[in-house]
């Protein structure tokens, strides 16, 4: 029977969901489940719940817990990574940028928050994959840690292990499309590709009928539009539905969060999408200081198996069954008009124990252009974190579309300086390196500019301007 190592298993929500699904796969009877986290007390509670679930549902599994990552990885066949590093400073990912006017809804995947989450997370993930190279070199890593694109880019460019980055944006968006078109979710046929949190439903059909005309018609209706304003507005202008909620999507584009009137328009209630910089930070602090025990009173009953891809991938690997999902991998010609080496989200087929990414061809030009605004930041961010280069870290944040819409370069640099200083205990790769704050250049009154050559094309304009001055 296979060994499944779950790294970051102290994450109750993720771990319980995965166990809920895995304990319903008949082909995994007798599986070895090794749960690893730095916090033993959390692991004990999750193990106790899992053992209750096994007993209640007549499932055989050898469940062990450990705080030793290497012990968990030894001879593993599958590794599920959900680690999150620096929970005690996570609120600063939103609080500091908010001082500079950068209002992030969640701040875990792109923007200043996403880059600094990568700075804390990527070095530990790379330690994990290098351990895998020695202890379980043939294992498949399913990565759930955000920021997905930067984490996966770092893995793909620094290791040869088998991996896929996992997200549930496809499944949740299918639910939205099903509701907006009154179509059973399980009967929708789709083709989707792009980047994490901004993949595009290129085709959606039901029994051979194209659902896009109906979807486009319905999002013009106020009741539908109100349900997901930012995503509907983006689709109205660019033509396709994509895989992230209005709250998240509003962070990745420059049009929705840069002014108070836009926040009020697109987040008409006091939801976390509108006021996240304050509300999420305060809530996050409370939860980190006083974690809620979600398992104490649960008797081990299982919910219906979810459509989360994880258990279905492992089942297909173990049984030889065919399964198709969307995963995050390094682009090697899979999407022709996105950069080679970028992290892309494409269809992957599992068959006979092999994962085979599918070639998509080219995205519609406007969709590729939107993806590129995020890819520039993701690739710079991943490189900056791996190299421990504070100047590249600044450059990555400066490429963020929302930050560009709100901050000057000097403000962006000062914001990044503030964030490095506030989180330095979690950023050892930057120890001994500093990002220099640049003083503003004051030009005294009466200063004459240095003579410089004038472009011939501008010379006539200058002469005309002097005539009328």
Which of the residues 162, 168, 191, 205 is marked catalytic?
A: 168
The count of residues in the chain is: 469
Q: Three-class SS of residue 369?
A: helix
Give dist(CA 314, CA 77) in Å, integer.
Answer: 10
**DSSP run (H or E) holding 193:** strand 188-195
State the DSSP string of 19-69: HHHHTT-GGGTTEEEEEE-S-HHHHHHHHHHHHHHHHHTT--EEEEEES-H
Q: Is 168 one of the annotated active-site residues of the chain?
A: yes
Query: How many whole angstroms separate alpha carbon 360 and alpha carbon 258?
Result: 34
Contacts of 286 (CB under 8 A, 6+ apart): none
- What does the block give as tokens for 332? 């090697």
Report the distance separating Cα 172 and Cα 292, nearest Å.
25
Spacing of C-alpha 411 from chain mean position: 25
Burial track 287-298 (b if 16+ CB lie within 10 A, e otherwise): eeeeeeeebeee
How far is residue 222's CA from residue 403's CA, in Å, rounded to a whole number?
Answer: 30
Tokens of 252: 């990745």
Longest CA span, the chain: 92
Active site residues: 168
């Amino acid at each position: 029977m296979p060994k499944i190592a779950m790294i970051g298993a102290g994450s109750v929500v993720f771990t319980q969901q995965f166990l809920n699904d895995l304990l319903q796969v008949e082909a995994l009877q007798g599986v070895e489940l090794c749960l690893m986290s730095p916090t033993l007390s959390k692991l004990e509670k999750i193990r106790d719940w899992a053992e209750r679930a096994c007993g209640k549902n007549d499932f055989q599994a050898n469940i062990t817990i450990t705080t030793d990552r290497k012990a968990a990885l030894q001879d593993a066949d599958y590794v599920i990574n959900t680690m999150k590093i620096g929970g005690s400073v996570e609120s600063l990912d939103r609080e500091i940028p908010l001082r500079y006017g950068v209002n992030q809804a969640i701040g875990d995947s792109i923007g200043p928050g996403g880059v600094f989450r990568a700075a804390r997370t990527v070095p530990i993930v790379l330690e994990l994959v290098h351990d895998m190279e020695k202890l379980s070199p043939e294992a498949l890593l399913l990565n759930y840690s955000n920021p997905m694109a930067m984490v996966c880019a770092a893995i793909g460019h620094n290791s040869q292990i088998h991996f896929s980055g996992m997200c549930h944006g496809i499944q949740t968006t299918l639910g939205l499309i099903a509701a907006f078109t009154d179509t059973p979710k399980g009967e929708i046929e789709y083709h989707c590709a792009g980047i994490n949190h901004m993949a595009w439903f290129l085709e959606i059909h039901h029994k051979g009928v194209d659902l896009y005309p109906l979807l486009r018609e319905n999002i013009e209706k106020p009741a539908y539009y109100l349900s997901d304003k930012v995503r509907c507005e983006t689709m109205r202008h660019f033509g396709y539905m994509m895989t992230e909620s209005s709250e998240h999507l509003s962070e990745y584009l420059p049009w929705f969060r840069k002014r108070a009137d836009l926040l009020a328009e697109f987040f008409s209630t006091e939801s976390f999408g509108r006021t996240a910089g304050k509300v999420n930070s305060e809530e996050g602090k409370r939860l980190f200081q006083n974690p809620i025990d979600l398992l104490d009173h649960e008797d081990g009953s299982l919910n219906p198996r979810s459509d989360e891809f994880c258990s279905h991938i492992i089942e297909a690997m173990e049984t030889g069954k065919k399964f198709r999902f969307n995963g995050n991998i390094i682009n090697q010609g899979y999407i022709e008009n996105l950069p080679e080496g970028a992290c892309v989200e494409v269809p992957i087929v599992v068959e006979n124990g092999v994962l085979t990414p599918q070639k998509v061809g080219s995205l519609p030009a406007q969709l590729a252009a939107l993806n590129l605004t995020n890819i520039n930041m993701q690739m710079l961010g991943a490189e900056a974190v791996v190299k421990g280069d504070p100047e590249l870290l600044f450059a990555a944040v400066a490429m963020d579309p929302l930050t560009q819409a709100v901050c000057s370069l000097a403000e962006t640099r000062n914001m990044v300086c503030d964030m490095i200083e506030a989180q330095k205990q979690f950023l050892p790769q930057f120890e001994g390196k500093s990002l220099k704050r640049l003083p503003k250049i004051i030009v005294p009154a009466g200063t004459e500019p240095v003579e410089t050559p004038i472009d011939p094309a501008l010379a006539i304009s200058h002469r005309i301007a002097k005539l009328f001055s």
